[in-house]
Amino acid sequence: MATHTKLMTSGSIQRNLLLFAFPLFLGTLFQQLYHTADTLVVGNFVGREALAAITSTSSLIMLMIGLSQGVFVGAGVVISTAFGQGNHKAVTKAVHTTVALGLITGFFLTFFGYFFTPVILTWMRTPSDVFTDAASYLRIYSLGISTLILYNTASGILQAVGDSKHPLYFLMVSATLNIVLDLVFVGVFGMGIEGTAYATIISQGVSAILSFRLLLTIDDVIRVRIRSIRLYKGYLGQILSYGIPSGIQNSVTSFANVILQSSINLFGAAAMAGNGSFMRIQGFAMIPVTTFALALTTYTGQNLGAGEYERVKKGARFGIIFAMLMAETIGIILYLGAEPLVRFFSSDPQVIAYGVTKSKISSLFFFALAFSHSMSGIMRGAGKAIISMSIMLAVWCIFRLIYIYVGLWLFMDIRVIFSAYPVTWSISAFIFMIYYFFVDWMKQKS
């Protein structure tokens, strides 16, 4: 077995999942530190409006890259399933199709982000004292978004064949570089929010270069050969059939979050900064959630490809329970320690008050968020991405928006927006639970 690939179709289920998930956990931790460093530097060196600008753009950035992330999840399912079957020819064609998709996606997102950012920020009702900083940050970020897409492409390929370590190493280098450049550009040279954007795209570029240097040089089934990069017809269809539902789920959920952000914007810069600061903190609670969702997708894909149905069932139970316990433990910590944590980002009393309010309303419901994401990961690995897409769209998008629209019409209170998250997490978790226990979803895989 080549050193860059790992089958999870035999051996200890818990050991396989934990060994695969641990580098993902560290990688997600560094990724969160990556974004948190931007926020900390801007909040402490620039000011409240800049802090509001950088945190309020997160939903728009996710809207831009959400569809591509879903498609690459689909690519991971195709690659991991073929790898589990031992079909190396299929793995090779799926890998090169994935790289071609990454290059095309990066080009279009750069164009869209650079030219349409001001229009979308206006539509989001971004306050005038925040608008200039937000537009500047997003336009610079868009110029380097293709490097993020390429890193995600390479990372997805490696993870699909069981290599979660190398994406971690590259992300550690990138995150460390980003923190250093943030301090130099913003703290030393006083470049403001633009300095943060430049630090981000430079560090993302380094991670993309390191990732593809590996894929272009390794002696393995996933080696990328430039002359072989193209959209292979049969594999493109498979990737899109698995990935488009996940991509639509990501994009529409992100679109809904953009609308939610526009509602938060109505309450001013302090509310934007307070909510955004806590969302950065909440990102740490998401680490075990996203870690095991990714691990369960790869694990499920490989084991279903090998026909190991009982292993899939046991792995799903372990992954779900572990993710829920970890997420809820962090949620309790955030509930009790919200004020000092938000204070790291800003000393403004209003900003702190909004962040604490957000924590008190949502932190104790992280178990439901973990369950929903873990189930979504399992469904994607089983080739049932359309199931998770349907549930997420119905609950996290349509119902959430109706809840907020009606709630703000009755009570113009930001707590209505904050409460929408735990309410919809709980509903989706309940629906996923019914589906898991009463539908024979593994035997339906085609």
**Can you tell me the mean pLDDT for 342-348?**
83
- Is residue 1 classed as helix, strand or coil in its secondary structure? coil
Asked if residue 442 has pLDDT above 70, the reply is no
> Where are the chain's structural domains?
19-438
- pTM score: 0.70
pLDDT tens digits for range 148-207: 899 989 988 888 787 878 888 898 899 889 889 988 998 888 888 899 899 999 999 999
The confidence score (pLDDT) of residue 6 equals 61
Q: pLDDT tens digits, residue range 46-88?
A: 777 777 777 777 777 877 777 777 777 778 878 888 887 888 8
**Cα gap 395→434, rounded to integer Å:** 15
Q: Give the tokens for residue 292.
A: 């095991």
Give pLDDT, residue 187.
Answer: 81
- Whole-number Å distance between alpha carbons of 18 and 322: 10
Residue 131 has pLDDT above 80, yes or no: yes
Query: Residue 291 to residues 165, 200, 360: CA-CA distances in angstroms?
Result: 13, 23, 25
Question: What was the pLDDT predicted at 4?
Answer: 54
Q: Average pLDDT for residues 294-315, to the nearest whole number?
A: 80
Residue 444 — pLDDT band, cuts 50, 70, 90?
A: very low
Contact 231, 97 (CB under 8 A): yes
| Between 415 and 441, the higher pLDDT residue | 415
Question: Confidence band (pLDDT; 50, 70, 90) for 423?
Answer: very high
Number of neighbours of residue 64 by Cβ within 10 angstroms: 26
pLDDT at 424: 94
Amino acid identity for residue 149 in this structure: I
The letter for the amino acid at 430 is F
In the chain, % of residues over pLDDT 90: 28
> What are the tokens at 130?
């925040």
CA dihedral for 37, 38, 39, 43, sign (positive or negative)? positive
The per-residue pLDDT for 8 is 66
Confidence of residue 107 (pLDDT cuts 50, 70, 90): very high
Q: What is the pLDDT of residue 88?
A: 86
More confident residue, 246 or 428: 428
Residue type, 330: I
Closest CA to 395 of 425, 364, 437: 425
**For position 1, what pLDDT does the model report?**
39
Per-residue model confidence as pLDDT tens digits over 236-251? 888 888 777 777 767 7
Mean pLDDT throughout 97-110? 92
pLDDT range class, residue 402, cuts 50, 70, 90: very high
Greater confidence (290 vs 178) lies with 178
CA dist 173 → 52, 102, 167, 288 (Å): 27, 22, 10, 21
Give the amino acid at 121.
L
Please name the amino acid found at residue 443: K
Give pLDDT, residue 378. 86
Q: What pLDDT does 446 receive? A: 41
Strand runs labelled E in 102-168: none
